[in-house]
Amino acid sequence: MMKELSGSEIQELISQKKWREIKKTISVCPAPDIADLWESLDEQDMFIVFRLLARQLAADVFNELEPNRQISLLEQMRSAHVRAIISELTPDERTDLFEELPGEMTQKLLNLLPPEIRKESLKLLGYPRDSVGRLMTPHYIAIRPQWTIERALEHIRLYGHHAETIDMVYVVDEKWHLLDDMPLRRLILADPEQKIESVMDREFVLVSAFEDQEKAIKVTERYNLVALPVVDSENVLVGIVTVDDILDVLKDEVTEDIQKGASVVPLGMSYSAASVWIQYWRRIPWLLLLTVVTFLSVGIIAAFEEILAGIVALAFFIPLVIHTGGKAGTQSATLVVRAIATGDLTLRKWFNVIRKELCVGLLLGVTLGTILYLCSYLWLGDSRISLVVSMTVIANVLWASLVGGLLPIILTKWRLDPAVISSPFITTLVDIIGVLIYLSIAIWWLEF
């Protein structure tokens, strides 16, 4: 079992200038573990240890670091060392790095790269942000249909070392149009004298380089792919997206949706890397907006001051009826947003959503309303107030479930992100309407 080395131990070895021992210890550690160790080191110590790493390991560790750490390292390294590290990154990793850096630094790094790598990087950066083109790698194995199996395998042996993956190879014509994708297993098991075209099934899926990265995630997940071919507008194969890149994007997308659902502008970085001020400016806009909107509830309560003064017990239940509806609405919105994101629910199924949420909302409302009627009656002994609370909860949960189910669909139809608006907006809307429903039912039932 590998011994874990702490930041304090590394700092102690640095203070004693035991460079060989440091190099020997960290050179056998996986890149993600070394990157985690970096978090406990100051910038100077981090730079010293980084210089002790072999070039490929240094590139792997660099790719695992947070953007602010990457920038700090780049600023300290000499041009030759920077060129070596950046050149060792895969094309999609370089693109991710350049997207995070200031424009001036990106241009400086591009100028340091060899001409062929600089050309490759500029091509990937030319695609729209968050498109599949930014995610793909141009390093793949392509073969021709007229080749024999033996020639194709020899080609893989010769050029496979530079490919992102050789699990899948791609059949293209003379103009590089994609004809088929083929698992390596099929080639290995075929007769060496067979032609490639004789083992082709011409059944494959692909994605355009200009599509959003979420499309690549959905296609990869739907067809259980290890690599997804990427083509341009003329069906020319320009790259592939591998499953490890899909997992990275999926993690970022899920993190972003969770942050949006919590009324936070996406950080765009890890929690640890985000400074106090970054978190403040990401969190204050929605909090400020929702606070101002929620102030409407105060105005509604003030408008019903007379009834609340007449029956003080009604005020006891305001937080309860409000939050019950808010939670029900958030539940519906969360389920529908996720169903839309995974492709389980389309906009055409909006009527099914209404029908289902009405049924579920009614069942939830009756269940909660009955329980709250019994609890409030045992507490106050006033059946009239208990019935007002019960009817309000039923109406509130039914209304909240309907809004929570429909709002994400409406926002998606308007090409707005339902994750960023649904949860906070629904909670606020249901809170305001919930107070109005509660006090309106009280006036009607208690005959004020």
Q: Inter-axis angle of helices 103-112 and 67-76, to 10 degrees?
A: 50
DSSP string of 349-404? GHHHHHHHHHHHHHHHHHHHHHHHHHHHHHHH--HHHHHHHHHHHHHHHHHHHHHH
pLDDT value of position 185? 94
Domain spans in the chain, listed from the N-terminal domain onward: 7-126, 142-249, 276-446
Residue 152 pLDDT greater than 90, yes or no: yes
Percent of the chain whose pLDDT exceeds 70? 93
Residue 239 pLDDT greater than 50, yes or no: yes
First to last CA, the chain: 76
Residues 6+ apart with CB under 8 A from 354: 402, 405, 406
Mean pLDDT for 263-288 is 76
Kindly report which listed range (190-194, 320-324, 420-424, 442-446) carries the lowest average pLDDT score: 420-424
Mean pLDDT for 25-40 is 79
pLDDT value of position 143? 96
* CB of 432 closer than 8 Å to CB of 294: yes
Cα separations (Å) of 238 from 45, 89, 100, 124? 41, 19, 24, 10
Number of helices and strands (H, E) in the chain?
22, 6
Query: Model pTM?
Result: 0.66
**128 versus 271: which is more confidently predicted?**
128
Residue 42 pLDDT greater than 80, yes or no: no
Residue 198 pLDDT greater than 70, yes or no: yes
Residues 6+ apart with CB under 8 A from 219: 205, 207, 225, 228
Q: Which three-class secondary structure state does DSSP give residue 231?
A: strand
* Alpha carbons 129 and 48: distance in angstroms, whole number: 34
Residue in this structure with the two tokens 């339902």, named with its chain if needed:
418
* Alpha carbons 368 and 370: distance in angstroms, whole number: 5
Tokens of 231: 């083509």
The tens digit of pLDDT for each residue in 73-123 reads: 888 777 777 888 888 888 888 888 887 777 777 877 887 888 888 888 878
* CB of 314 closer than 8 Å to CB of 308: yes
Looking at the domain 142-249, which fold is it? CBS-domain (3.10.580)
pLDDT value of position 262? 67
Tokens of 86: 């950046």
Residue 264 pLDDT greater than 90, yes or no: no
pLDDT value of position 422? 59
The tens digit of pLDDT for each residue in 344-395 reads: 887 788 888 889 999 999 999 999 999 999 999 998 888 888 999 999 999 9
pLDDT value of position 225? 92
* CB of 113 closer than 8 Å to CB of 192: no
| Region class of 206: left (phi > 0), else alpha (psi between -120 and 50), else beta | beta
Kindly report which listed range (70-74, 216-220, 224-228, 388-392) carries the lowest average pLDDT score: 70-74
Burial class of residue 3 in the structure, from the number of CB atoms within 10 Å of its CB (0-12 exposed, 13-18 middle, 19+ buried): exposed
276-446 is classed in which CATH architecture? Orthogonal Bundle (1.10)
Residue in this structure with the two tokens 């059946």, named with its chain if needed:
383
Res. 1 pLDDT band, cuts 50 70 90: very low
Mean pLDDT for 276-302 is 77
Mean pLDDT for 49-74 is 82
* CB of 269 closer than 8 Å to CB of 67: yes
pLDDT value of position 371? 94
pLDDT value of position 4? 56
Q: Do domains 142-249 and 276-446 have the same CATH topology?
A: no
Q: How high does pLDDT run on average in the chain?
A: 84
pLDDT value of position 168? 95
Tokens of 437: 């429903």
Residue 265 pLDDT greater than 80, yes or no: no
Mean pLDDT for 197-224 is 92
pLDDT value of position 31? 84
Residues 6+ apart with CB under 8 A from 157: none
What angle (nearest 5°) sits at the alpha carbon of residue 317, between those of residues 315 and 321?
Answer: 125
* CB of 81 closer than 8 Å to CB of 55: no
Percent of the chain whose pLDDT exceeds 90? 29
CATH superfamily of 7-126: MgtE N-terminal domain-like (1.25.60.10)
